[in-house]
Structure 1
């Protein structure tokens, strides 16, 4: 039985949410279906949490479960011709699974580069990309025009992209 506290489950799920949701999105053509399967996957992950082996990758484990949830969903929806066959689904999932370590690596580099920004810039990114406020509301809150906010975000994205490229290049040179 896994002795990792359940709080870690929530932390890992929050950290890998986009990766798991993106994986499901590559397997299902309709966003509403992918959202439904993601919710179901989260429930199954929670139910199976005690069987998670902490020595393995959480995202690989979660995407493996998500794959079977997609297959279950498609079996139920099998009358609809808009879904991939099991063979195609397996090929796509295999390709995505091989990309998971690289995606996790890029996610870590992104977080590293965001942390290098000043507190105001980090908050701005959080508010604009992860918050519930619209760009207009964030602009009003920060005393900027929408145009000025878009320009600031564009400059921040360029800084983050440069940092990610330099960090990735440095990592390649170090290997």
Structure 2
């Protein structure tokens, strides 16, 4: 719980600091449960509003991400309930298991993301721009290839090579750290 003597500005600043540091993990968690980036981002916003309004019940010193993911989990449940008439691909039991596993893997995924960021920095600018064009929202291999002046077939081959390079780099960095 936040201290009764805390000023509202201090509480808001603490919330913002914790949220900003952890929002990529919360978004990643949401993406594992809904798989649609737009929906996950909407749910992240709803989660942030709820977290802020309930921040006085958060116990400082405990795991903010776990608390936030629990709130996000209920946002997903409510979202799924509201979509009950549409075709649902996964059962509630599967979503519950996936949720548990994602929270357990949080620190490992953070390490992998940091290693990937480092490996991306080591790529030359042309390859990095090609990858970013491919993985931006609504990106495609053909569009990234066009941007890079490659045929679609050459773009697929370059993407395969870059994925292999990044996979090997991430594996090496993680093995060196452990």
For normalisation by structure 1, the TM-score amounts to: 0.69
- Say whether residues 1:39 and 2:42 are aligned partners: yes
Equivalents in 1 of 2:139, 2:94: separation in Å?
39
8 Å Cα contact 1:20/1:59 also seen in 2? no
Change over 3 Å in CA distance of 1:156–1:22 after alignment to 2: same
- Say whether residues 1:48 and 2:67 are aligned partners: no
- Say whether residues 1:62 and 2:68 are aligned partners: yes
Change over 3 Å in CA distance of 1:97–1:166 after alignment to 2: same
In the alignment, which residue of structure 1 is the partner of 2:148?
142
For normalisation by structure 2, the TM-score amounts to: 0.68
Aligned residues: 164
Give the CA deviation at 1:135. 2.5
8 Å Cα contact 1:41/1:65 also seen in 2? no
Give the CA deviation at 1:108. 1.3
Unpaired runs of 5+ residues, structure 1, are 26-30
Change over 3 Å in CA distance of 1:94–1:11 after alignment to 2: closer
Change over 3 Å in CA distance of 1:115–1:54 after alignment to 2: farther
- Say whether residues 1:155 and 2:171 are aligned partners: no
Equivalents in 1 of 2:166, 2:60: separation in Å?
31
8 Å Cα contact 1:37/1:73 also seen in 2? no
Give the CA deviation at 1:16. 3.6
Give the CA deviation at 1:115. 1.2
Q: For structure 1, which segment, 53-62 or 127-136, has the greater mean C-alpha deviation from structure 2 after superposition?
A: 53-62
Unpaired runs of 5+ residues, structure 2, are 1-10
In the alignment, which residue of structure 1 is the partner of 2:77?
71
Equivalents in 2 of 1:19, 1:147: separation in Å?
31
Aligned Cα root-mean-square deviation (Å): 3.7
Equivalents in 2 of 1:163, 1:116: separation in Å?
10
- Say whether residues 1:122 and 2:128 are aligned partners: yes
Change over 3 Å in CA distance of 1:7–1:127 after alignment to 2: farther
